[in-house]
């Protein structure tokens, strides 16, 4: 990722309106800022959330609260707890998220 033509700025995430996204089960709430080609999100998954699709978008993801399970299409599963992150390239390994307890994430893609 190359970051260019982006002046210094701050974001008060509590002031960014959340949009609701239905999962196969549960809900995701996204607070999104777009900076050129870079999308930055604060995402909250409700307890019992399961994504409704396999994602092929590249991300850098940091778990802030709760517990996130990321499953790769090949069957591998990874559990992230607060302070853990993952990174994956576009079209590299399809993945989907779920959480039994709920989770709050910071995502750059």
Residue 34 lies in a domain: no
Q: Which of 3-7, 12-16, 76-80 has the lowest mean pLDDT?
A: 3-7
The CATH number for 68's domain is 2.60.120.10
Q: Is the pTM of this model over 0.85?
A: yes
As a residue count, the chain comes to 109
Written as six digits, the tokens of 57 are 């978008």
Residue 83 lies in a domain: yes
Residue 2 lies in a domain: no
**46 band by pLDDT with thresholds 50, 70 and 90:** very high
The domain tally of the chain equals 1
Expressed in angstroms, the distance from the first to the final Cα of the chain is 9
Phi (first) and psi of residue 74, to 5 degrees: -80, 0
Q: Domain residues for 76?
A: 42-109
In angstroms, rounded to a whole number, what is the distance separating the alpha carbons of residues 21 and 23?
Answer: 6
pLDDT tens-digit series, residues 80-91:
999 999 999 999
DSSP strand pairing (18-22 vs 85-88): unpaired
């Amino acid at each position: 990722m190359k970051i260019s033509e982006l002046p210094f700025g701050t974001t008060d995430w509590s002031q960014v309106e959340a949009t609701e996204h239905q999962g196969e089960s549960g809900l995701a709430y996204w607070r999104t800022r777009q900076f050129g080609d870079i999308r930055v999100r604060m995402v909250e998954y409700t307890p019992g959330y399961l994504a409704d699709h396999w994602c092929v978008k590249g991300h850098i993801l940091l778990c802030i609260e709760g517990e996130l399970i990321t499953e790769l299409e090949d069957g591998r599963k990874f559990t992230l707890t607060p302070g853990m992150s993952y990174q994956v390239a576009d079209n590299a390994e399809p993945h989907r998220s779920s959480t039994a307890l709920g989770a709050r994430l910071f995502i750059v893609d």
